[in-house]
């Protein structure tokens, strides 16, 4: 008997996926737990294995289409077995008919009354479309609507605007990034403060560690190693708000902001407090490689307690980092650059590292924020990894 395999929840809070690539064609055999299809979730690209062995009889969606959790993903049966989707399943794959207006109808303009066409044309645009047209300086009376009953759509207005406009759908990952950042910005009262530290000592230590190491020594490893003791002595920065309580985490899973072709990813370095600086370097390199090849598992993208962002890697200086939802703080480091500094009343040159610290004002007041920043500056300027 054919087995109907519904789309499982492959990640926390997942509601839908985009079918990236079918790894087995209809009519082909597949083994138990063999890769069946590759899907893009809001966090990563994941291979879904087949729960049974047999022949693939049906694919629930085409490549590039979206499928919701609980819908039929695939049907696997015996060779020669016939299987047909139910009427409900067929309806899911049929393109939806044009949607009528919420209130009333928009009749076609009378053919015998050309003089009334300009007035009727403006009524064939919903308020949001008329607002967009006004913002873009587009005259609705010059547009022929392509929507139902000649209604002017948003795309009609965009196409008639100044210059060509192309509407491009955001990927699942990009949509997830947008939603998470929007939620953080809406719900967390952000405060961002700035500081700078002399980087000569830390970078000198990096050169020494590179001589000891068998591979690269990313600057993020040095920074995480310095941040961990500060989080241990300032628990508000490794916390989260839960109702009227503060969740003071006693574990240190550090999110490493990573630039990828699909957007900013936040792989999580679990148990960072238990790793040496060399182990931190190896783990960060592995996570970054997996992020850029879209091979991170859902577990590797969840559970950050604090975040470190090295915007200096892309030429950045100071910034206003947004706190990842479910945490209380994030620190970003810019590119170290030579600047004039005063030492013993003498102007000299110093290699200064820009620091931007954003924190949740519900848990952290300005004085505590400045205390943490001062401790961080001191840790960088006196860095010692021996």
Instruction: Give the catalytic positions in this structure.
Output: 361
Which residue carries 């957007």 as its tokens?
263
- Tell me the two tokens of residue 314: 């892309």
C-alpha distances out from residue 168 to 98, 155, 179, 185, 200, Å: 21, 12, 17, 25, 45
Pairing of strands 72-77, 54-59: antiparallel
Residue 126 · residue 120 · CB < 8 Å: no
C-alpha distances out from residue 84 to 27, 77, 89, 288, Å: 14, 12, 9, 44
Residue 266 · residue 257 · CB < 8 Å: yes
With H, G, I as helix, E, B as strand and everything else as coil, classify residue 253: coil
Pairing of strands 346-360, 329-333: antiparallel
- Tell me the two tokens of residue 111: 């053919």
What's the rounded Cα separation, in Å, for the pair 81 and 114?
Answer: 61
What's the rounded Cα separation, in Å, for the pair 316 and 303?
Answer: 26
Q: Which helix (H) or strand (E) holds 237?
A: none
- Tell me the two tokens of residue 353: 């590292």
Alpha helices (runs of H) in the chain, residue ranges in sequence order = 87-93, 117-123, 127-136, 154-160, 172-187, 200-212, 219-233, 277-292, 366-381
Tell me the chain's radius of gyration from C-alpha atoms: 28
């Amino acid at each position: 008997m054919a087995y109907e395999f519904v789309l499982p929840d492959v990640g926390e809070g997942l509601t839908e996926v985009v079918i990236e690539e079918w790894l087995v064609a209809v009519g082909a055999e597949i083994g138990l737990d063999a890769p069946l299809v590759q899907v893009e979730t809001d966090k990563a690209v994941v291979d879904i294995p087949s729960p049974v062995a047999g022949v693939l009889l049906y694919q629930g969606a085409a490549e590039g289409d979206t499928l919701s959790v609980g819908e039929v993903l695939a049907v696997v049966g015996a060779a020669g077995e016939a299987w047909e989707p139910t009427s409900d399943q067929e309806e899911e794959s049929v393109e939806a008919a044009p949607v009528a207006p919420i209130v009333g109808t928009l009749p076609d303009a009378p053919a015998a009354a050309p003089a009334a066409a300009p007035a009727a044309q403006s009524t064939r645009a919903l308020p949001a479309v008329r607002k967009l047209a006004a913002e873009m300086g587009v005259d609705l009376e010059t547009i022929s609507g392509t929507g139902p009953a000649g209604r002017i759509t948003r795309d009609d207005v965009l196409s008639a605007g100044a210059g060509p406009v192309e509407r491009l759908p955001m990927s699942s990952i990009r949509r997830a990034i947008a939603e998470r950042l929007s939620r953080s910005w809406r719900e967390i009262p952000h405060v961002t403060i700035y500081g700078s530290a002399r980087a000569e000592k830390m970078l000198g230590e990096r050169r020494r560690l590179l001589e000891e190491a068998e591979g690269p020594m990313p600057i993020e490893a040095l920074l995480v190693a310095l941040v961990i003791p500060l989080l241990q002595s300032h628990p508000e920065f490794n916390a989260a708000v839960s109702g009227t309580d503060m969740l003071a985490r006693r574990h240190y899973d550090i999110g490493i902001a990573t630039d990828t072709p699909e957007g900013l990813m936040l792989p999580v370095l679990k148990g960072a407090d238990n790793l040496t600086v060399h182990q931190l370097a190896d783990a960060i390199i592995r996570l970054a490689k997996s992020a850029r090849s879209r091979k991170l598992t859902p577990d590797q993208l969840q559970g950050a307690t604090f975040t470190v962002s090295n915007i200096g890697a892309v030429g950045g200086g100071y910034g206003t980092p947004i706190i990842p939802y479910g945490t209380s703080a994030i620190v970003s480091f810019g590119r170290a650059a030579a600047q004039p500094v005063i030492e013993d009343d003498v102007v000299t040159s110093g290699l200064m590292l820009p620091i931007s610290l954003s924190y949740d004002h519900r848990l952290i007041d300005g004085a505590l924020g400045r205390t943490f920043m001062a401790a961080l500056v001191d840790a960088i300027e006196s860095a010692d990894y021996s």
